[in-house]
Amino acid sequence: MPSAAGAQVETTLGKLLSDSGKITEEDVQRILHYARTKGLRFGEAAVRLRLVKRTDVDRALATQFDYSYVAEGQSNLSRELVAAYNPFTPKVEALRSLRVQLMLGTFTPTANALAIVSPSTGDGRSFIAANLAVVFSQLGERTLLVDAHLQKSRLHEFFGVPNTAGLSATLVGRTSGALKTLTVPQFKNLSFIPAGAPPPNADELLAREPFAKVCSVLRKEYDVVLFDTPPGGSSTGVDWIADRCGKALMVVRQNHTEFPAAKAFLKRIELRAEVVGSVLNRY
């Protein structure tokens, strides 16, 4: 027999599905009866009766438990943000496992910045950085994602925003006041700083003191700060980002990243920061 708390959850879930037009009040009673008879949860009973789809139940549960994610066709976010569109898949479960390892074994209140690094183009740094930022925000952490790949930035495409004023303008002193961040409306705990206009001297800008000051300020304002970086094979900027963060997560891609390059790059980054782990990207 369901507990009082369990019955309340089922009633709320039924109301959410009813309010969204997925089922009628009569359907709710039918589902409740079937669930009690078969010893099922409300959502499972509704799916077995073919009154709703599993995705309908997942969305209603996400609303009920304040777990932000995005329904297909209702956002300009890139489909590459799998954590935003498909949070209940093995891909995203792997990202959540990575989040646990970072939260429990890597981050502290004063060491909460992480450079997402890789040796070459196409390893999947931006994919990992953007989706990891989403899952951190879903946990309730005040999360900031910074696009520090100044010459060939991509993250603005993930979030459907223009790559106008961003990090590069701040580093050359073209903005006044505090560094401005963009909020991501679909995720109340997620903010984003685009790279901005590509400068001719990206590596030098990242090596200068203004970037160190930016990193110091951001670490104090957010729970988690993630930096997307340029590929190590074509830029020394990644060395400076890793140094300023103090911690780095290395990304390699199956059937793409060459082992000798990855080995050499790892030794190089270990001179600048603590390499907290590595990710084998298969996507």
User: Which residue has tokens 């999360």?
Assistant: 143
What is the pLDDT, as a whole number, of residue 162?
A: 87
Q: What percent of the chain has a predicted confidence (pLDDT) above 90?
A: 59
pTM listed for this prediction: 0.81
CA dihedral 227, 232, 237, 243 (to 10 degrees): 70
**CATH value of 82-281 in 3.40.50.2020, 3.40.50.300, 3.40.50.720, 3.40.50.1100:** 3.40.50.300
167-197 per-position pLDDT tens digit: 999 998 866 556 778 999 888 899 999 999 9
Q: Which residue has the higher pLDDT, 125 or 28?
A: 125
Residue ranges covered by each domain of the chain: 4-64, 82-281
Lowest-pLDDT range of 3-17, 57-71, 232-246 = 3-17
Amino acid in the structure at residue 114: L
Length of the chain: 283
